[in-house]
């Protein structure tokens, strides 16, 4: 049964909410002030309903105390309508959401349900992170998941890693499909076995069958001895087929047989070879479309697509840009023997508004280049490549202002522009615009009013 801690100084409001939530299946602890609320925090609630104005403190200060003691707990701020701006600031400080008085009880239940789902997701990600710490560097580098989208990816990884299911990893080039494949292997029961990575696009078609399945002596000119293939070398482990969409049709049938029967024959051989491998595959291509066009076998597609994980592009999870940049900066500063404190405000601002067509791989290359060029304690805007506003700064006049604005103002400009574009894409339908932006409709309406976009 989920537990709610209600911190509310109005006795009638406190009693009404406590009784209502108890009827709806929640365990409820109630406190009239901040001091008593912090004591009851020891009972480990899932959600805290926190009145912004309390007799012995304000909600923002108490929110920080709660988050310090219980980082995962979901805090919902209760506020008067005139204090919505303060509640939004509390959300920036880690609150899950806010409710305005008088409280709509149906809205409260919906918000509690969403908060519990988010809490379960965060707890699963925390468990996964602890397991990753046991794996450690350098086997699984660059795992950053500050955004909800990447937390969802890690949640799916944690669910499927322990199974034998074939997994199809989807996403644009450079999003980190190989990293996710590595996680799936290292968190699986096969972690002690080999992890064989095969780039189907990088091996010439004439050599691919021999590389994958091996060959017998005399199978072709120059085959002076028998050679096991990569599938045999992966016995009791995992095979990762990167760019599987580039696998020739002639080999797709053989791969299908491996998935169905766990066996194959070497090139030029007659004897059946049995292997125990788990297959992971990745592609940035549209496999269903390739199936329709006859360029990819439908039966193989369904065999590979037992479980799919789609990795969002970096431009759709901007919360991950700063922590990824700091991770790469630390790694490359150590690699190149430099002592760097971090990124300048202008450099970070430039990274946050860039679209990264090359995704995480592009960010990694940008940071390594910047570390090499940096001459002071910070990576500056001039150390970044021209497309981000470096020494050959580009962009429209309005975008150029971003490099001169303080970071909070630059972020506000970007937020206003994203909302404007989302409203245009949604043809003014606020519910759809909120989905595009990953916001609740209530927060979107507040921001529309704030920026005068109504």
What pLDDT shows up at residue 404?
58
Burial of 386 (C-beta count, 10 Å sphere; 0-12/13-18/19+) = exposed
How many domains are contained in the chain? 3
In DSSP terms, 215 is beta-bridged to 227, 267
Q: Which domain holds residue 366?
A: 315-451
Question: One digit per residue, pLDDT tens: the chain, 454 residues?
Answer: 899 999 999 999 999 999 999 999 999 999 999 999 999 999 999 999 999 888 988 878 889 899 888 888 999 988 876 566 776 677 777 888 888 888 889 889 988 998 898 888 777 767 666 665 554 443 444 567 778 888 888 888 888 998 999 999 999 988 989 989 998 998 899 988 999 999 888 888 778 888 888 888 877 777 778 888 899 999 999 999 999 999 988 889 889 988 888 888 888 888 888 999 999 999 999 999 999 999 999 999 999 999 999 999 998 888 899 999 999 999 999 999 998 989 998 888 889 888 888 999 999 999 999 999 998 899 998 899 887 865 444 444 455 555 555 666 667 777 888 888 888 888 888 888 888 887 777 778 778 877 777 6
- Residue 139 belongs to some domain of the structure: no
- Residue 136 belongs to some domain of the structure: no
Look at the block and give the residue holding tokens 């696009």: 201
DSSP result, 42-89: GG--SEEEEESEETTEEHHHHHHHHHHH-TT-EEEEEE-GGGHHHHHH
What pLDDT shows up at residue 441?
77
Same domain as 260, residue 236: yes
- Residue 142 belongs to some domain of the structure: no
What CATH number has the domain bearing residue 375?
Answer: 1.10.8.60
What pLDDT shows up at residue 379?
92
Last residue within a domain, chosen from 103, 136, 157:
103
Same domain as 285, residue 182: yes
Last residue within a domain, chosen from 103, 133, 168:
103
- Residue 410 belongs to some domain of the structure: yes
Same domain as 291, residue 219: yes
What CATH number has the domain bearing residue 198?
Answer: 3.40.50.300
What CATH number has the domain bearing residue 28?
Answer: 3.40.50.2300
Look at the block and give the residue holding tokens 């980190």: 176
Same domain as 199, residue 348: no
């Amino acid at each position: 049964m989920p537990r709610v801690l209600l911190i509310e100084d109005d006795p009638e409001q406190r009693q009404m909410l406590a009784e209502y939530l108890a009827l709806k299946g929640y365990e409820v602890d109630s406190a009239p002030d901040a001091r008593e609320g912090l004591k009851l925090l020891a009972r480990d609630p899932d959600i805290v309903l926190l009145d912004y104005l309390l007799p012995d403190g304000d909600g923002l200060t108490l929110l920080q105390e709660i988050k310090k003691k219980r980082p995962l707990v979901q805090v919902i701020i209760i506020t008067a309508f005139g204090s919505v701006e303060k509640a939004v600031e509390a959300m920036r400080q880690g609150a899950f959401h806010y409710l305005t008085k008088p409280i709509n009880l149906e809205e409260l239940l919906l918000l509690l349900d969403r908060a519990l789902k988010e809490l379960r997701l965060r707890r699963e990600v925390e468990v996964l992170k602890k397991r990753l710490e046991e794996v450690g560097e350098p086997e699984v580098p660059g795992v950053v998941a500050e955004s909800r989208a990447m937390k969802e990816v890690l949640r799916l990884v944690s669910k499927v890693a322990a199974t034998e299911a074939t997994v199809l990893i989807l996403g644009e080039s450079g999003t980190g499909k190989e990293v996710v494949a590595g996680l799936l292997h290292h968190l699986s029961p096969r972690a002690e076995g080999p992890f064989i990575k095969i780039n189907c696009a990088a091996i010439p078609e004439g050599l691919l069958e021999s590389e994958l399945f091996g060959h017998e002596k005399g199978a072709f000119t120059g085959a002076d001895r028998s050679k096991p293939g990569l599938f045999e070398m992966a016995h009791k482990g995992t095979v990762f087929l990167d760019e599987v969409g580039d696998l020739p049709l002639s080999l797709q049938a053989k791969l299908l047989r491996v998935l169905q029967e766990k066996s194959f024959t070497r090139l030029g051989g007659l004897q059946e070879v049995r292997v125990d491998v788990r297959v992971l595959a990745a592609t940035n291509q549209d496999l269903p479309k390739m199936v329709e066009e006859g360029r990819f076998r439908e039966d193989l597609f369904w065999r590979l697509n037992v479980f799919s994980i789609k990795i969002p592009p970096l431009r759709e999870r901007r919360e991950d840009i700063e922590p990824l940049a700091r991770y790469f900066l630390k790694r490359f500063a150590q690699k190149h023997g430099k002592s760097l404190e971090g990124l300048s405000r202008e450099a970070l601002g430039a990274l946050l508004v860039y679209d990264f067509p090359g995704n995480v791989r592009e960010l990694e290359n940008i940071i390594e280049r910047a570390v090499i060029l940096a001459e002071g304690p910070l990576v500056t805007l001039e150390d970044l490549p021209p497309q981000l506003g470096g020494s050959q700064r580009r962009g429209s006049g309005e975008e150029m202002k971003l490099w001169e604005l303080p970071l909070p103002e630059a972020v506000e400009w970007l937020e206003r522009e994203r909302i404007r574009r989302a409203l245009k894409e949604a043809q003014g339908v606020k519910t759809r615009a909120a989905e595009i932006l990953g916001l609740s409709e209530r927060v979107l309406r507040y921001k529309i009013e704030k920026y005068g976009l109504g």
